[in-house]
């Protein structure tokens, strides 16, 4: 029995959009879902009960960061990540692969794995498929991700092909190394860059391993959005209907709509939390840069159509004051709003699929909001 299971509840009549439910050892959540990111065992500037209160049933945390600080053995001793950070819902951890590849000169790839230096203190480390599984097993997250290589964009075809084939070999090693299948489920990751035939090859190779879920990696890495959507259109058709599909690192409102339309069930992105700390809000009337002078005497809420705590209790004028004064409460209130915005956007999207009007919701949204 897999730790994590997926039930497909409905597929939209006119698009590939679908409704589902994921069951994990730490609760169920409806899909399509947006997963807030809690890199270092905290969704920045939020208490965990506040994240849960927004309606988020699953968050993402980063293996690379937790491995380096505080160290996965400490988290294991704490009883796992859920206990360590006081989060009662589900957790997905990435494999650490994306972060170590992002280190550039500080890392070296071999068939065995990736040797790298810590961005914190320069110390030397090695991540392999087996290490990544061992670390994620110690963390105790509900969904663990395969150790893959996310090829850069642009990358030539020969490189992408050998990289995705290595990713498949690494996935087999991950599957062999991951024994705790009744408490944690391993998701495979499709690669293949912007090459349709390589995407197909990657999908076939990973789907053959019959995993509880599949992710699409290597998108939103700098390519134009239209190209991403084009590749995505094709990708999903190579994945099984009865397993959840997770589009990694994507979470702007327009990408959420486009992804859902193409049959994606799960998303994550640092965007809402990161821009919040920089004073940017996602609202039903478009992006708002709170530092702008126009908000100085604006005593109306950040988003006139929002029911979140921030919009019910504080004015743009106050939020601008907090941001200009470098007050921590600025990050707290804007993060709360942005996560509420995305979590509730996904709720509306699910309702629209239920009510057979997804494309109308999408059209309305873009008319009000513009492209992000």
Q: Does 327 bind a copy of itself (CB under 8 A)?
A: yes
Q: How far apart are CA 294 and CA 312, in angstroms?
A: 20
Q: How far apart are CA 79 and CA 105, in angstroms?
A: 35
Least distance in angstroms from the C-beta of 179 to a copy of itself: 26
First-to-last alpha carbon distance for the chain, in angstroms, is: 41
Q: How far apart are CA 294 and CA 147, in angstroms?
A: 47
In DSSP terms, which residues pair with 109 in a beta bridge? 114
Q: How far apart are CA 57 and CA 50, in angstroms?
A: 12
Q: How far apart are CA 246 and CA 255, in angstroms?
A: 13
Least distance in angstroms from the C-beta of 279 to a copy of itself: 14
Contacts of 84 (CB under 8 A, 6+ apart): 41, 74, 75, 78
Catalytic residue numbers read: 94, 268
Q: Does 46 bind a copy of itself (CB under 8 A)?
A: yes
Least distance in angstroms from the C-beta of 94 to a copy of itself: 17
In DSSP terms, which residues pair with 216 in a beta bridge? 190, 247
Q: Which of 39, 256, 238 is nearest to 247 (CA)?
A: 256
Q: Does 322 bind a copy of itself (CB under 8 A)?
A: yes
Q: Do the beta carbons of residue 122 and residue 174 sit within 8 Å? A: no
Q: Does 280 bind a copy of itself (CB under 8 A)?
A: no
Least distance in angstroms from the C-beta of 15 to a copy of itself: 39
User: Toward a copy of itself, which CB reaches closer, 161 or 320?
Assistant: 320
User: Toward a copy of itself, which CB reaches closer, 201 or 338?
Assistant: 338
Q: Which of 128, 163, 331, 338 binds a copy of itself (CB under 8 A)?
A: 331
Write the burial class of residue 223 (CB in 10 Å: 0-12 exposed, 13-18 middle, 19+ buried): middle
Report 195-214 residues binding a copy of itself (CB under 8 A): none
Q: How far is CA 97 from CA 105, 145, 194, in A?
A: 15, 9, 19
Q: Does 299 bind a copy of itself (CB under 8 A)?
A: yes
Q: Which of 58, 186, 332, 343 binds a copy of itself (CB under 8 A)?
A: 332
Q: Do the beta carbons of residue 87 and residue 48 sit within 8 Å? A: yes
Report 67-86 residues binding a copy of itself (CB under 8 A): 69-70, 74, 77-79, 84-86
Least distance in angstroms from the C-beta of 332 to a copy of itself: 7
Q: Does 45 bind a copy of itself (CB under 8 A)?
A: yes
What is the number of residues in the chain? Answer: 372
**Binding string, residues 115-154; x marks residues near a copy of itself by CB under 8 A:** ----------------------------------------
Q: Which of 324, 351, 363, 370 binds a copy of itself (CB under 8 A)?
A: 324
Q: Do the beta carbons of residue 283 and residue 298 sit within 8 Å? A: no
Q: Which of 40, 52, 207, 270 binds a copy of itself (CB under 8 A)?
A: 40
User: Toward a copy of itself, which CB reaches closer, 41 or 353?
Assistant: 41
Least distance in angstroms from the C-beta of 99 to a copy of itself: 15
Question: Number of residues in contact with a copy of itself, rule: CB under 8 A?
Answer: 34
Least distance in angstroms from the C-beta of 118 to a copy of itself: 13
Q: Does 321 bind a copy of itself (CB under 8 A)?
A: yes
Provide the Cα torsion 17, 209, 179, 57; round to 10°: 0
In the complex, the residues that contact a copy of itself under the rule CB under 8 A are 40-42, 44-47, 69-70, 74, 77-79, 84-86, 296-297, 299, 313-315, 317-318, 320-322, 324-325, 327-329, 331-332
């Amino acid at each position: 029995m897999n730790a994590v299971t997926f039930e497909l509840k409905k597929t939209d009549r006119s698009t590939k959009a679908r409704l589902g439910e994921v069951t994990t050892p730490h609760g169920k959540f409806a899909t399509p879902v947006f997963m807030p990111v809690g890199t270092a065992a905290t969704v920045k500037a939020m208490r965990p009960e506040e994240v849960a209160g927004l309606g988020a049933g699953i968050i993402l945390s980063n293996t690379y960061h937790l491995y380096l600080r505080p160290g996965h053995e400490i988290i294991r001793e704490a009883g796992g990540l859920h206990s360590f950070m006081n989060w009662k819902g589900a957790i997905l951890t990435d494999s650490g692969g994306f972060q170590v590849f992002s280190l550039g000169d500080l890392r070296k790839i071999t068939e065995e794995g990736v040797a790298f230096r810590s961005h914190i203190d320069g110390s030397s480390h090695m991540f392999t498929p087996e290490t990544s599984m061992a670390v994620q097993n110690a963390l105790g997250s509900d969904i663990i991700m395969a150790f893959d290589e996310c090829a850069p964009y642009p990358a030539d075809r020969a490189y992408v092909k050998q990289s995705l084939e290595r990713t498949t070999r690494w996935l087999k090693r991950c599957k062999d190394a991951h024994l705790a299948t009744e408490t944690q489920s391993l998701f495979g990751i499709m690669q293949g860059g912007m090459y349709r035939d390589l995407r197909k090859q990657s999908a076939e190779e990973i789907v053959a391993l019959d995993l509880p879920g599949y992710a699409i990696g290597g998108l939103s890495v700098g390519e134009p959005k239209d190209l991403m959507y084009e590749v995505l259109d094709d990708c999903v058709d190579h994945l099984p209907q009865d397993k959840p599909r997770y589009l990694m690192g994507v979470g702007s409102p327009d990408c959420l709509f486009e992804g859902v339309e193409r049959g994606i069930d799960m998303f994550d992105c640092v965007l809402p939390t990161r821009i919040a700390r920089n004073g940017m809000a996602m609202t039903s009337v478009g992006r708002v840069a709170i530092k702008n002078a126009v908000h100085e005497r604006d005593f109306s809420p950040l988003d006139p159509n929002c029911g979140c705590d921030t919009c019910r209790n504080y004015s743009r004028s106050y939020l601008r004051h907090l941001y200009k004064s470098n007050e921590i409460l600025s990050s707290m209130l804007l993060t709360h709003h942005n996560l509420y915005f995305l979590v509730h956007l996904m709720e509306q999207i699910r309702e629209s699929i239920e009510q057979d009007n997804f494309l109308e919701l999408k059209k309305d949204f873009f008319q009000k909001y513009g492209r992000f």
